[in-house]
Structure 1
Amino acid sequence: MTQIYTKADQVIVWLGPAEDNSDALMECLQEIGQEAADLAIESYLTKERLPLLHKIMRNENPEDPVTMQYQPLMAKAVAKLQGLLHEMVAWNERLWFTRVWVIQEQALGSDPFFLCGYKTVRLDLIPFAMLIWDGCVSEATVEVPPTGADEFRRLLLKAQDRRSSPLMAVRRRRRNFIKGVGPGDDFYHVLKKAYVDGDAQATQTRDRIYGLLSLATDADKLGITPDYVTEESHPTFIEAAHALVRVGRIEMLSFSQFPKDIEGLPSWVPDWRSTLEHSYLYAFEDAEKLIVRASGESSIELVPTDNRGVLGIRGMIVDTIETTGDVWRWETDREFRYKLLQTITTLCEEAAAKGFGHEIYENSDRQAEAMWRVPVADLYWTKGVRYHRPGSAVKSDYEDCMNVLRLLSLTFESFPPEERQQLLDDFYRQIPGQSNYSENMDKLSGKRPYMTRQGYLGMGPGEACPGDVVVILLGSRIPYVLRPSGDGTMYCFVGEAYCDGVMDGELLTKREKTTFLIA
């Protein structure tokens, strides 16, 4: 099929019959997308030029000739698409977007069209139209109705949750790779776009692997040969996991999440189902340089094993987990956010009392900073500064967050009027900082705080418990949590972790290397 799609003059993708006013949406996508293409929007889709497009969409320089061309298009997009939100949701929910085999259908064709009912739209125009629309939403040019505002915002978010976006990202990078103007996607990134960013599904579980091989730039290097003879499917996933680790993709481990839906998989092997959650490094993967590197400049060191289900790999033990807090999820009530921050404060105090701080941190000031670094994994994103390690200014956001959450827990009516007004003034003044900090906490959804025996602090997987060990595998950017077997010779993989004080390779000179056998 790869050669058929690649050599075809035109690929027509059938989405199904017209329904849910799909004709109107198809016409709109074609029109907005074509006008965006005429303005050479694709030329901005590089890491260097994308910030220029954002400035244009923000209308930072209204006298700029290019900005003057884009602003009418954005106004048109709002006028047309704002009334088609329900249609967007229905479009996103079409089954075509969930089938793993159709990813190559749209990614490999030279000029594919979507056909829905009797309406067509060039596939390459859809991401252009959506880019314009997303710019309108992010710059708040979309008008929220005075009645039913909350319901409208929920609808708006749902309409932006597009199954097609990761698939089209694969297509764009594949096209650039063929043209010689981009690196394309290796197998790890194709898998991630399909099952973490997207929700691709396959009737045969092994096709989660085989259905994407043709899109990977490193397919030949991986040496994965499709096998439909073996009755069980788990050997396919074990083979794929070994291949990914062999080519240096140790970060694949972050997607070995539980519970798995394939029987017989070792704990360290991802099942690549469509419900996988992002790594907490997700927002920082596009940063120009690695922001964290727990294993320093080391490379992966694999150790041969007799059992293909066992991963032999070298690394270092940080420490054993002694205490854990509750699992936290961003969508829970604000009380749980406040409880998480309070739990981390308590763990920081208990860790300081252990007296090992001088072995973990360079000084007492840095140790005290754990209180506001741990809840955001010492990684921060802001609209102006983008990706960075948090500095002292983030402490102010943390304090604003704590104060706002504390104020929300109070009963304002119990305070005298003048004191009540002061509390309200403080509340509104601190909301921007609280919002920034809360959004940066959200990447750790599904994790729980922990403290080790020596006083290392961090956020670990939801399945972590006392007795588990925090480790750094050579070649990895972040720590992981493993569970020792009864005799201590084998380990089970538990999940990814953040560990304060070890994220920049500090342990390379403090710990001896050891071999982990992970089953």
Structure 2
Amino acid sequence: MSTNGANGHIYAEDELYRKLAPDRKEIRILCLEQDNRLDRFVQNGTVAETPPTPSELIFRWEYISLSDRIVPHYDAISYSWGGDEAKAIGRTIVVNGRSLTIPKNAHEALSAVCLRHGHYRVWIDAVCIDQEDKHERNNQVSYMGDVFSKATRVCIWFGEDNSVAEPALGSVRTLLETMDPTLPDRLKTPHSGSNKSPPLSTDPRKLSTYSGWPSVYSLYANRWFTRAWVIQEVALAKQALCYQGNYPSAVDFDEVALVATYLYERRHLLPKNPKKSAQTGFENAATILTLRRHRSQKLASLLRVVYTFNCEDPHDMVYSILGLRHRSAQKPDSIHRVIPIYEEPVVEVYAKATKAAISETRSLGILKHAHSLRPFHRKRGEPDDFPSWALRMDLRGHYHINPISYRSFRFNANEFLSLVLWPNDSSRVLRVQGVLVDTIIDVSDCMRWKQAGDSSSSGWNDTLTAAAVLHETYSWAREALPAWTAKDFARKFSMTCAAGQDATGRSLHDGKEHASRLFHGFWSTANVPTSSDAPPQDDGYASETGSVHSMKSQASRASSTTRSIDVKDFDTDLAADNPDATYALSAMMKGGHHRTVYITERGALGLGTDNVQVGDVVVILFGGTVPFVLRPQAHYWHFVGDCYVEEIMHGEYIRTLNKQNRLEQAKQWFKIR
């Protein structure tokens, strides 16, 4: 039997969604029927402002293979699914002569892209994937990167325009032309043989007179910029065009993202105080632009990027970025491959992804972020069966703690010893080889202050708060380790709180100039007695016999008068523009934020995460460039976080063990859960 479609076409009365061939990477394309195309609504050469009614969205299927050498033309639609309310409100389209109810936001996107802007052959996830068929969904998601990379264009639908004055998309174009009138023409030749974005030759005075800031901010506050799937949808696109509301023309995404990059870099100086949602839009758009220039990434990098985005299904915090991985990593025979399986528990997905990132890079570097991706406080009674070492991608927001070595250089605590993983282990267990260094016997209170850019940050007062917290922590540590001279201990304390790097990520271990500036800056903001008979102590790891208890017993009479730094009038010092003091406080605020200072059994001073406890141990795990803190449990170890101990950051401890022919004896397996 057969039925007549809206235009007289004959359709077989089979199921609307016939099975796809995953081995050919087959997908469905929606083809707008001839009678519904844009030329029906052209009057005197002008497109009618009133869009067609919902009943006029009539399509037919076309099936194409992404594995073919030449893939037929189609455009892919990128949009925001919206919340539960938008999904609950159904709208009807006709496909192959059958009515199909789809979410409101998908219907709006199809109406705008197909009817208003003339894209007649499109792919859209809510319709072209049978959402009720889990097996099909898993297969389609596994090659979603191909869907968007092989599309002729990606059409971004921002939704209807909520700005009250100038159209939001138009305001970005106006702002861009105000900033640099030549840029739109330069962007017509993508990349131009370079991976760098065209520079903006901007005169700040031009921006101060611009009146469309509310409309600009409303665009970047759009929900689309927070959706994790848009990362690869746009990063892989040959060309990405943006549409919104009734704005008559498309704006290239590269223009939108370039403006966002400029605004994000100057977000603290912008007029009209953009809301946090707009600043997030700036950052995420800039991130996508970077990935458009560098499309092939390792999973570890992508997992860190996606954390500032959101997904309705927590599985998609991993699955949404797989198309941006190196192709070799996602081949069927790759041991690093992550296979989308929505039926798997989220904990399994995140553990597998974290372990795949570790095995792909042959590095434990991603563990520096494991504690950062955890909540400040877990709700009482909330189950926590997530492995302590796995990234919690289901948590929203930015890192509340900076990883050790988070910028432009690496430490080398493991002395280049390669990662050794226990083979064929459980996905929820990370068993690695390393050495136990020391045991923590005392821990400070957590050092907290507001960072620049925090919504409630007041800038100057927060610097004073940080200075007071650092003073209090210094006093506590000086009390515990009195044998050091005041200057020696102030140098070590400032280096430890800064985690060996300044606020820009420059290493303070390379040469003496910057380390000296850090110390003198910290010293200049404090009033410290300089008389002390206590000599500088040897590093706590220079011998096996050194301990904090023996060091305390060697303290001189004068040490009791030099153990505390009294904060001077910071207002006077810093207001006088003391660059070294500013340099030191910035570095220590960046490195020490939401961390604790701890003291070990051998008398070392360290910087750990906010959850460090007495009895935890400092370890060097092979494949990890920084030391880590573990907590002993009955039959396994609990991962606490990364840490900084000045004396062991560049392989000193491993070299000492080697020199003493004790490295093989010291090696052990750590079963971390």
TM-score (ref. length: structure 2): 0.59
> Which residue among 8, 12, 20 is the counterpart of 2:155?
12
Is the 2:525–2:568 Cα contact (8 Å) retained in structure 1? Answer: no
Structure with a larger share of its residues in helix: 1
Which of 114, 119, 125 is the matching residue for 2:255? Answer: 125
Q: How many Å separate the matches in 2 of 1:380 and 1:188?
A: 24
Q: Output the amino acid matched with 2:613.
A: C
2-structure distance, mates of 1:283, 1:470: 17
Q: Pick from 296, 301, 310: which aligns with 1:201?
A: 310
Task: Summarize the Cα distance change of 1:38–1:204 in structure 2 as closer, same or farther, 3 Å threshold.
Answer: closer
User: What secondary structure sits across from 2:494 in the alignment?
Assistant: helix
1:394 aligns with 2:518: yes
1:267 aligned to 383, 388, 391, which one?
A: 388
Which residue of structure 2 lines up, in the alignment, with residue 330 of structure 1? 449
8 Å CA contact 1:448–1:460 kept in 2: the answer is yes
Aligned pairs for 1:86-485 within 5 A: 86-119=214-247, 120-133=250-263, 155=273, 158=276, 161-177=279-295, 184-195=296-307, 198=308, 200-217=309-326, 218-220=329-331, 221=334, 222-230=336-344, 232-247=345-360, 248-257=362-371, 258-259=374-375, 263-272=384-393, 273-277=395-399, 280-281=402-403, 284-285=406-407, 287=408, 290-304=409-423, 306-331=425-450, 333=462, 334-335=464-465, 337-348=467-478, 350-351=480-481, 353=483, 369-381=491-503, 388-389=508-509, 390-402=514-526, 406-408=567-569, 424=572, 426=573, 428-429=575-576, 431-443=578-590, 444-485=592-633
Structure 1: give runs of 5+ residues left out of the alignment. Answer: 58-69, 145-151, 178-183, 358-362, 410-422
Overall identity of the aligned pairs, in %: 22
| Larger of the two Rg values belongs to structure | 2
SS at match of 2:624: coil
Alignment length (residue pairs): 448
1:495 deviation in Å?
Answer: 1.2
1:108, 1:171 within 8 Å by CA — same for their partners in 2? Answer: no
Distance in 1 (CA, whole Å) between partners of 2:165 and 2:255 is: 16
Contact 1:185 1:216 in 2 (8 A): yes
Residue type at the aligned position of 2:633: S
Query: 1:132 offset after TM fit, Å?
Result: 4.1
Change (3 A) 1:445 1:16: same
Which deviates the most, 114-123 or 492-501? Answer: 114-123
Q: Is the 8 A contact 1:328 1:340 kept in 2?
A: yes
Secondary structure in structure 2 of the residue aligned to 1:369: helix
Tell me: CA distance 1:161–1:318, structure 2 relative to 1, closer, same or farther (3 Å): farther
The aligned counterpart of 1:417 is none
SS at match of 2:341: coil
Distance 1:173 1:339, change over 3 A: closer
Q: SS state of the match for residue 434, structure 2?
A: strand
- Structure 2 CA distance, aligned partners of 1:187 and 1:71? 36
Alpha-carbon distance in 1 for matches of 2:264, 2:503: 19
The 3-state SS of whatever aligns with 2:156 is strand
- 1:25–1:87 CA contact under 8 A, matched in 2: yes
Per mean C-alpha deviation after superposition, the further-off stretch among 112-121 and 459-468 is 112-121
Which of 493, 515, 519 lines up with 2:639 in the alignment? Answer: 493
> Counterparts of 1:364 and 1:301 in 2: how far apart (Å)?
42
Cα gap change, 1:262 to 1:253, in 2 (>3 Å) = farther
For 1:86 and 1:458, the matched residues in 2 are separated by 46
Structure 1 residues 336 and 132 mapped into 2: Cα distance closer, same or farther (>3 Å)? closer
Preserved CA contact (<8 Å) 2:152 2:238: yes
Cα distance change, pair 209–405 in 1 and its aligned pair in 2 (3 A) = farther
Distance 1:165 1:427 in 2: 31
Cα separation, partners in 2 of 1:442 and 1:393, compared to 1, 3 Å: closer
What is the rounded CA distance, in whole Å, between the counterparts of 2:608 and 2:228 in structure 1? 31
Question: Any conservation in 1 of the 2:497–2:588 contact (CA below 8 Å)?
Answer: yes
**Structure with more contact order per residue of length (Cα contacts < 8 Å, sep ≥ 6):** 1
Moved more, 266-275 or 155-164: 155-164
CA contact (8 A) 2:338 2:356 kept: yes
C-alpha displacement of 1:348: 4.4
How far 1:427 sits from its partner (Å)? 5.1
Could you say if the C-alpha distance between residues 215 and 399 of structure 1 is closer, same or farther in structure 2, counting changes exceeding 3 Å? same
Q: Which amino acid in structure 1 is aligned with residue 520 of structure 2?
A: S
Q: 1:398 to 1:160 in 2, by over 3 A?
A: farther
Cα shift at 1:371: 2.1
Counterparts of 1:301 and 1:396, CA distance in 2 = 42
Task: Give ranges in structure 2 of 5+ residues lacking alignment.
Answer: 1-143, 451-456, 528-564, 658-665
Instruction: Report the Cα distance in structure 1 between the residues aligned to 2:356 and 2:418, rounded to whole angstroms.
Output: 16
The secondary structure found in structure 2 opposite 1:252 is: helix
DSSP 3-state at the match of 1:481: strand
1:517 equivalenced with 2:653 (yes/no): no
Structure 2 residue matching 1:449: 3-state secondary structure: strand
Distance in 2 (alpha carbons) for counterparts of 1:127 and 1:405 = 48
Name the CA distance, whole Å, in 1 between partners of 2:390 and 2:260.
35
Q: What is the deviation of 1:518?
A: 0.4
| 2:314/2:346 contact within 8 Å kept | yes
Tell me if structure 2 keeps the 8 A contact 1:254–1:279: no
Counterpart-to-counterpart distance in 1, 2:330 and 2:193 = 26
Separation in 1, partners of 2:222, 2:165: 11
SS at match of 1:241: helix
Deviation (angstroms), 1:36 = 5.9
Question: 1:16 offset after TM fit, Å?
Answer: 1.5
TM-score, length basis structure 1? 0.75
**Cα distance in structure 1, aligned partners of 2:302 and 2:566:** 40
Measured after TM superposition, the shift of residue 32 of structure 1 is 4.5
Paired with 1:435 and 1:446, the residues of 2 have a C-alpha distance of 20
Contact 1:319 1:470 in 2 (8 A): yes
1:344·1:375 contact (CA, 8 Å) conserved in 2? no
2:436–2:618 Cα contact (<8 Å) kept: yes
